[in-house]
Amino acid sequence: MNDSAHYRGRFAPTPSGPLHFGSLVAALGSYLDARAAQGRWLVRIEDIDPPRCPEGAASTILHQLETFGLEWDEAVMWQHTRGDTYQHALDRLIQLDLAYPCSCSRKQWQAFEIYPGWCREGVCDPNKPLAWRLRSDRGERPIRWQDRLFGEQQFDPAELGDVVLKRKDGLWAYQLAVVVDDAEQQITDVVRGLDLLDNTPWQRQLQSALQLPQPRYLHLPLIVTAEGQKLSKQNLAPALAENESGVRQQLFQALEALDQAPPKALATEPPATQLHWAIANWSLARLRPVGHRLTPSSHSAGD
């Protein structure tokens, strides 16, 4: 790859709880893609929603990454420190007539699939707390891009709705923060879970509006339970192993989940050995563009 010298990837967890197997696969995919391209790999803690982020969760995540040998370059970026920059971006969107204040509550529009845009031409109730929303109907439509695994993508952002950029309680929303920070960290390659594929149109729309560079995107298969549920902190997916043999086994299983076909003997090797092999052998061509992978059975992750 001729742009490999400039490759900059990132892992951007929300510290709402410890990492689970699904987050390990996302972190590992992003790490390997960056390291195989001799690029840099950064970590950004997406702690814009303090009520959802228990004390200590961010440091647990950083510790988990270290335990699995996923070492990052440069200082960790913390989103809770970035409010002024997000405000600046929102001000610019307001100037461009791409963001508008909205007083509507979820309850008011619950009969609709997406927010119907009632406040677009003027706030319905200026006495209520106001959120800020994106005019998803303005700008390039449809939004098209090439996902590195899932190929040609095409979405009409207006069908996805006027996403919230700043919440009524004053907290920043993910879509704006992620775009501003991917640009700040000069990210060239976003590698993350498939659950965020349909967030990408808003992010690309925001990048164009704010005249920010557009990274390449690689969405990775999601890890699901036998019932087809995505592993998540909400459904209490178990935290990653802490003991040595559990760590080795889960790292190996994460390589398998990424279809890298690691040799069996690697399963009991320490993270550094496994990662050394995985970087040298990283192959996106091996990764099947299938949306889901089953979680390895939990009994094998123990002791």
Q: Which residues of the shown chain bind ligand GLU in the complex (CB under 6 A)? A: 12-14, 46, 178, 192, 196
Choose between 14 and 250: whose C-beta lies nearer to ligand GLU: 14
Q: What is the CA radius of gyration of the chain?
A: 20
Q: E strand or H helix at 23, and its extent?
A: helix 21-36
Choose between 61 and 301: whose C-beta lies nearer to ligand GLU: 61
Task: Collapse the DSSP code of 158 into the 3-class scheme (helix H, G, I; strand E, B; otherwise coil) and give the result.
Answer: helix
Q: Tell me how far apart the alpha carbons of residues 275 and 155 are, in angstroms, rounded to a whole number.
A: 36
> What minimum distance in Å lies between the beta carbon of 46 and ligand GLU?
4
Choose between 57 and 158: whose C-beta lies nearer to ligand GLU: 57
> What minimum distance in Å lies between the beta carbon of 48 and ligand GLU?
9
Q: Tell me how far apart the alpha carbons of residues 209 and 143 are, in angstroms, rounded to a whole number.
A: 13
> What minimum distance in Å lies between the beta carbon of 49 and ligand GLU?
10
Choose between 93 and 196: whose C-beta lies nearer to ligand GLU: 196
> What minimum distance in Å lies between the beta carbon of 164 and ligand GLU?
15
Q: Are residues 64 and 18 in contact, defined by beta-carbon separation less than 8 angstroms?
A: yes
Q: E strand or H helix at 201, and its extent?
A: helix 200-209
Task: Collapse the DSSP code of 223 into the 3-class scheme (helix H, G, I; strand E, B; otherwise coil) and give the result.
Answer: strand
> What minimum distance in Å lies between the beta carbon of 14 and ligand GLU?
4
Choose between 79 and 274: whose C-beta lies nearer to ligand GLU: 79
Q: Tell me how far apart the alpha carbons of residues 12 and 174 are, in angstroms, rounded to a whole number.
A: 11
Strands 40-45 and 143-147: unpaired
